[in-house]
Amino acid sequence: MSESILKKIRELKKRRKAVILAHNYQLPEVQDIADYVGDSLELARIASRTDAAVIVLCGVRFMAETASILCPDRKVLMPDINAGCPMADMIDEKRLRAFRKKHPGSVVVAYVNTSASVKAESDICCTSANAVRVVRSLDKGKEIIFIPDKYLGGYVMKKTGRKMILWHGYCPVHLKILPEDVMKQKKKHPRAEILVHPECSPPVIDLADKVLSTGGMLKYAKKSKAREFIIGTETGIIHKLEKENPAKEFYPASSLAVCRNMKLISLENILWCLEEMKEEVKVDIKTRLRAVRAVQRMLGKEG
């Protein structure tokens, strides 16, 4: 790691009055240079409260769009504009409108892993951290459409007892974690607690001791008396888990659970981003005014 790059980033960040936000799945060196590291809900909350003039979002595009929705007067930059989300691409506003017409009067709950235009067609957003709270808060007489992740939706249905109509989207990275992967690690580390993300498939979820968002995993690992953990989510979180819990051991459920889009962000393109003030992500005002209601409702279900 080049100290000169780190120094330049810090100098430019100060000059630009910028804040660097990084998702828990980012490369270790990106997490370490960031001002804040968190899950989607935490990053949305931080973006909504920051007084920085520039937000450098080290994550995927829907996260930068969410920051733009919440902070229309700030410049939101992505170090690599090509960092997308396959799950978010599994639904668009046209298909959602058509689907909603088939279920008139329904409430659309959109996972935050969706584009700004899809959020604009939705009633309320959620993250894996607050999806259960969001669904429990809704009128029991209303039909619920949950998009786009059928596995998170299925988990929420089980936890809340609310029947929902699920879109057939999914996270390709979490589907790489197989039950046999988890069992293999459990055999190697019999005392380890199994923590998995609700984007995992039901057979993997059934093996878990705890089903948690990435932020939830970090909080739980700190307070748990266990000394070993099998982590069923994208491998990038291991860095922060180890950093915050040096006396504990963490094992990825599968070494294949790597999001290539998240790994597109590097120190080099963070530096370039701050030097050139590119690439800006700006949600148009019409879309933003419709989407912001759903996002703000999500933040209201935070605690």
DSSP 280: B
Domains of the chain by residue range: 3-84+262-283, 88-170+288-300, 177-252
Q: Do 19 and 56 meet the contact criterion of CB atoms below 8 Å apart?
A: yes
pLDDT band of 276, cuts 50, 70, 90? very high
Tell me, which fold does domain 177-252 have in CATH? Answer: Rossmann fold (3.40.50)
Going 177 to 183 to 187 to 191, the CA torsion angle's sign is positive
Neighbours of 182 (CB within 10 A): 22
Q: What CATH superfamily classification does 3-84+262-283 receive?
A: NadA-like (3.40.50.10800)
Task: Indicate the burial class of 186 (C-beta count within 10 angstroms; 0-12, 13-18, 19 or more).
Answer: middle
Structural class in CATH, domain 88-170+288-300: alpha beta
Q: What is the pLDDT of residue 103?
A: 95
Q: What is the pLDDT of residue 301?
A: 53
pLDDT band of 302, cuts 50, 70, 90? very low
| Domain 3-84+262-283 and domain 88-170+288-300 have a common topology | yes
Rounded to two decimals, what is the model's pTM?
0.94
CA distance 193 to 231: 9
